[in-house]
Amino acid sequence: MRFQASDVFLPSPGGTLAAIPEETELEGTIIDFSDSGLRSRFFAVIDVVRTQSLIVPVDKLEIIKAATTKGET
């Protein structure tokens, strides 16, 4: 998944991501989903390369193509 640092819900961008510019695109893997009141699966829990889990609204995520190994179609 790909998303911008400014779309992170928890921890807040002013928290542990303060050193990262808001327009920075981050990549990671969805490890869980969370609800927002009556809206199920509204947030995705993303494990990012920086070994930190972040909460991001699902509608802010962009699916990226998985890398394939040489010879795969």
Locate 45 and state its tokens.
């829990």
In this predicted structure, what is the pLDDT of residue 41? 87
Q: Write the DSSP symbol of residue 59.
A: G
Could you tell me the pTM of the whole model? 0.55
How does the average pLDDT of the chain come out, rounded? 76
Task: Give the whole-angstrom CA distance, residue 63 versus residue 17.
Answer: 22
Question: Which range of residues forms the domain containing residue 44?
Answer: 2-60
23: confidence class by pLDDT, cuts 50, 70, 90: confident
| 70 inside domain | no
Q: pLDDT for 31-57, tens place per residue?
A: 899 888 888 888 898 887 665 677 888
Question: Domain count of the chain?
Answer: 1
| 68 inside domain | no
| Phi and psi torsions of 31, nearest 5° | -115, -15
